Structure 1
Amino acid sequence: MTTDQHGLAMTGAGAAAAQHYDRAIDELLHFRVEVATETKAALAESPGFPMANVLSAYLGLLTTEADDARKARARFGAFRRGTDEHALLPRERAHVAAVQALLDGDFLTCGALLGEITVEHPRDALALAVGHQIDFFTGDARSLRDRIGGALTAWREDDRHFGHLLGMYAFGLEEAGHYDRSEEVGLRAVELNPRDVWGIHAVVHTYEMQGRFGDGLRYLDARTRDWSTGTFFNIHNWWHYGLYALESGDVPRALAIYDSVLAGGESSMELLDAAALLWRLHLEGSDQHERWLGLAEAWPPLVAEPFYAFNDMHAVMSYVGAGRIGDAEKLVAAREAYVLEPRPGVTNLDMTLHVGLPVCRAVVAFGRGDYASVVDLLYPIRHRINEFGGSHAQRDAVQRTLLEAVLRAGRRDLARTLVSERINVRPCSPYNWLKQAALADLLGERGAAAAARVRADELARDGGRTP
């Protein structure tokens, strides 16, 4: 028996395997691709090493791709068949149960089991990191905050990965709406570890939610070398840079980021970031047909099987943007058939049924110019969009689709309500004031429209709100 770098006992690992496992956890927390190499090295040294097998399975499941999940299921099944689980430590058995729940498609049970591990073993970095991602995939803002917050006092400031815990906590605080505290914690996380791309990401989200896109651009520019290369998360942070550029009205800069970084992605994570940036332009009438064509070509193998409804939405956006409405409708029809089959405990089925399908149908309707149907589909679920995962920043694409459809459908009263909600939450957003101008145009109020556009221009020039 040995212990990991955080003092937790492990069985079935030689000294070399334990070292590789510790390095794998470090790489995981840094979002570096070397996590897979170190995990394989640990298993090569000790094939029956329970925690390395657990980590390998989690890695195959957190990509949110069906093919990776299928391979992880086969590997983990072989491990379980060759293991006497009664000989495992209670913490190891709990991880095995959590992995199996995730393999079975039950995100919620997996998250709950990982939470139980964290209560008893708050220094289990793997349970915290994977649980944090599960909370992200299920859109659970409170758990994103409290899963990490409940473990923090078991860690010391001089612990090697304390900064990474702060980075995760900062993101949870942001998603739960504690923006000032999130910024404070996130900046401290990055101070402790400048290469903590998740901590940097948390700070970026905080600025996004406060409309401080000027601060966000300056922050990312100052730390470009820390976040822009060397991880499997750098593309997502570039996406955030693109959002800031769009908010400032700099479409050429956003498209330059798309062409140099986001285009040509292969994983679901990369493709959805690309689709999310282009869709915001699509809503504003910007024709990016050639860019959409390349993106639409990449999606079919990744959504051939249902796995994560959030990915489906971005695939449908890509098909619609490319003018491939028929492909979008085929994907919707496939998911309609999927939800008719009984699948007890499969979280994605409920996500698809209650949120994914209405959103995908709305995106198709938007592509067809049927804006009334978009409103009918999205307005009833607009406060439940979090149930199919993602962050507030990512899900804003859905809210913008609703608002644009309301304006184009001429729904004046509803447009006034939605624009008023946005402006009063984030009065420093140029986008929000441009929508106020569009509403004023709809109402025939030329003076108010001109004033709103002036305000949008001022905010774009000034970078939004500053502290």
Structure 2
Amino acid sequence: MSTDQHDLAMTGAGDAATRHYDQAIDDLLHFRVEVDAETTAALAEAPDFPMGNVLAAYLGLLTTEAEDARTARRRFAAFRARIDHSTLLPRERAHVEAVQALLDGDFLTCGRRLGMITEQHPRDALALAAGHQIDFFTGDARSLRDRIGGALSAWREDDRHFGHVLGMYAFGLEEAGHYDRSEEVGLRAVELNARDVWGIHAVVHTYEMQGRFGEGIRYLDARVDDWSTGTFFNVHNWWHYALYALEAGDVARALAIYDAVLAAGRSSMELLDAAALLWRLYLEGSGQHERWSALAEGWPALVAEPFYAFNDMHAVMSYVGAGRLADAGRLIAARETYLAEPRPGVTNQDMTARVGLPVCRALVAFGQGDHDRVVDLLWPIRHRVNEFGGSHAQRDAVQRTLLEAALRGGRHDLARVLVSERINVRPCSPFNWLKQGALAEAVGDRAAAAAARLRAGELVRQAGPGSVGTGG
């Protein structure tokens, strides 16, 4: 029996396999591509090493891509057929059951089982990291906060990965709306480990949700070498940088980032960032047809079968942006067929039915200029869009689509409600004031429209200058 770097007992691993496993966990927490190689090396040393097989399965499932999940299912089934389950430690058995739930498509049961592991073993970094991602994929803000917060007291300041746990906690705090505390914890996480890209990401989210785009640009500029290289998470943080640029009204800078970084993406996680950026421009009347056309080519293989409704939304965005409405319609029809055969316990089915399909239909309706249908589809679900995962910042694309449809469709009462909500949460957002101006213009109040647009311009000037490179 061996012990991992966090003093947790493991079976089936010698010294070499344990070293590779420990390094793989470190790579996972740093979002380094080497996590795959280190996991493979651990299993090469000890093919039936339970925690190594568990880690490999999580890595295959958390990409949210069906082909990776299929490979993970096959390999994990072979591992389970080879071993005597009675020899596993209780913690290992619990991980095997959590992975199996995820393999079966039950994100919620997996999250609960990982939570039970954390209750007994709060220093299990893999249970925390995997559970944190499950909470993200299911849009559970309270669990994003409390899963990590409930384990935090078991960690010490001098623990190797204490800063990473703080970084996860900071993100959970942000998603739960505790912005002051999130900033404090996130900054401390990055102070402890400058290359904690998830901690940097948490701080960036905090600034985004508060409309502090000027500070966000300066924060990312100051740490660009820490988050933009040596990590598979760099594309997402560049996406956040581009959002700040859009808030500042600098479309050219946002597109420079898109062309240099986002356009080269190939995974679902990368493609959805690209789609989410272009969709914000699309809503403002900037077509970007060539960029959309190239992006749309990347989606068909990734959404050929249902796996994660959040990805489906971004694929439909790409098809609509590229003018491929027939492809968007075929994807929607395929998901309708998917729902016709109930699969109890498959989380994605519920996500697709409750949020995914209404959103995808609304995106197509927007592309067709049917703004009333967009509002009719999105207004009833606007307070539960979190149910198909993602962050507040990512899901804002849906809220912006609803607002723009209300404005274009002459649904001024609803538009007033939506703009009022946004301004009173983020009064320092130029975008929100520009929409206030558009609404005022639509109802014939030119003085109010001019005042709102002046306010937007003042906020951009007050935010101060920012600079960016787009290399990496």
TM-score of the two chains, using structure 2 as the length reference:
0.98
Number of matched residues? 464
User: Quick check: 1:264–1:295 contact (8 Å CA) kept in 2?
Assistant: no
Rounded Cα–Cα distance in structure 2 between residues aligned with 1:281 and 1:25: 38
Rounded Cα–Cα distance in structure 2 between residues aligned with 1:463 and 1:263: 28
Report how far residue 137 of structure 1 moved.
0.1
What residue in structure 1 maps to residue 166 of structure 2? 166
Rounded Cα–Cα distance in structure 2 between residues aligned with 1:378 and 1:345: 25
1:134-154 alpha-carbon deviations (Å, 9 max, x no partner): 000000000000000000000
What residue in structure 1 maps to residue 377 of structure 2? 377
What residue in structure 2 maps to residue 121 of structure 1? 121
What residue in structure 2 maps to residue 268 of structure 1? 268
What residue in structure 1 maps to residue 18 of structure 2? 18
Rounded Cα–Cα distance in structure 2 between residues aligned with 1:23 and 1:192: 19
What residue in structure 2 maps to residue 395 of structure 1? 395
Report how far residue 90 of structure 1 moved.
0.2
Rounded Cα–Cα distance in structure 1 between residues aligned with 2:417 and 2:162: 43
The answer to whether the aligner puts 1:58 opposite 2:58 as a matched pair is: yes
What residue in structure 2 maps to residue 416 of structure 1? 416
What residue in structure 1 maps to residue 180 of structure 2? 180
Rounded Cα–Cα distance in structure 1 between residues aligned with 2:91 and 2:142: 24
What residue in structure 1 maps to residue 257 of structure 2? 257
Rounded Cα–Cα distance in structure 2 between residues aligned with 1:152 and 1:411: 47
1:22-49 alpha-carbon deviations (Å, 9 max, x no partner): 0000000000010000000000000010
Rounded Cα–Cα distance in structure 2 between residues aligned with 1:278 and 1:412: 26
What residue in structure 1 maps to residue 144 of structure 2? 144
User: Quick check: 1:289–1:321 contact (8 Å CA) kept in 2?
Assistant: yes
What residue in structure 2 maps to residue 213 of structure 1? 213
The answer to whether the aligner puts 1:447 opposite 2:423 as a matched pair is: no
Identical counterparts, % of pairs: 82
1:59-95 alpha-carbon deviations (Å, 9 max, x no partner): 0000000000000000000000000011000000000
What residue in structure 1 maps to residue 104 of structure 2? 104
The answer to whether the aligner puts 1:7 opposite 2:7 as a matched pair is: yes
Structure 2 spans left out of the alignment, 5+ residues = 465-472
Secondary structure of 1:300's counterpart equals: coil
Secondary structure of 1:204's counterpart equals: helix
Rounded Cα–Cα distance in structure 2 between residues aligned with 1:334 and 1:71: 23
1:317-361 alpha-carbon deviations (Å, 9 max, x no partner): 000000000000100000011011120100000000000000000
Rounded Cα–Cα distance in structure 2 between residues aligned with 1:342 and 1:328: 23
Rounded Cα–Cα distance in structure 2 between residues aligned with 1:460 and 1:107: 41
Rounded Cα–Cα distance in structure 2 between residues aligned with 1:303 and 1:194: 36
Report how far residue 280 of structure 1 moved.
0.1
User: Quick check: 1:167–1:199 contact (8 Å CA) kept in 2?
Assistant: yes
Report how far residue 463 of structure 1 moved.
1.8
Rounded Cα–Cα distance in structure 2 between residues aligned with 1:102 and 1:146: 21
Structure 1 spans left out of the alignment, 5+ residues = none
User: Quick check: 1:94–1:113 contact (8 Å CA) kept in 2?
Assistant: yes
The answer to whether the aligner puts 1:283 opposite 2:287 as a matched pair is: no
Rounded Cα–Cα distance in structure 2 between residues aligned with 1:266 and 1:340: 31
Report matched runs for 1:293-308 at 5 Å.
293-308=293-308
Secondary structure of 1:198's counterpart equals: helix
Rounded Cα–Cα distance in structure 1 between residues aligned with 2:159 and 2:220: 26
Secondary structure of 2:239's counterpart equals: helix
Secondary structure of 2:304's counterpart equals: coil
What residue in structure 2 maps to residue 352 of structure 1? 352
The answer to whether the aligner puts 1:231 opposite 2:231 as a matched pair is: yes
What residue in structure 1 maps to residue 244 of structure 2? 244
Secondary structure of 1:163's counterpart equals: helix
Rounded Cα–Cα distance in structure 2 between residues aligned with 1:77 and 1:463: 54
What residue in structure 1 maps to residue 407 of structure 2? 407
Rounded Cα–Cα distance in structure 2 between residues aligned with 1:463 and 1:436: 20
Report matched runs for 1:419-438 at 5 Å.
419-438=419-438
Report how far residue 287 of structure 1 moved.
1.6
What residue in structure 1 maps to residue 467 of structure 2? none
Rounded Cα–Cα distance in structure 2 between residues aligned with 1:163 and 1:320: 41
Give the partner amino acid of 1:197: V
Rounded Cα–Cα distance in structure 2 between residues aligned with 1:449 and 1:100: 56
User: Quick check: 1:173–1:182 contact (8 Å CA) kept in 2?
Assistant: yes
Rounded Cα–Cα distance in structure 2 between residues aligned with 1:119 and 1:27: 24
TM-score of the two chains, using structure 1 as the length reference:
0.99
Secondary structure of 2:285's counterpart equals: coil
Report how far residue 230 of structure 1 moved.
1.2
1:180-202 alpha-carbon deviations (Å, 9 max, x no partner): 00000000000000000000000
Give the partner amino acid of 1:71: T
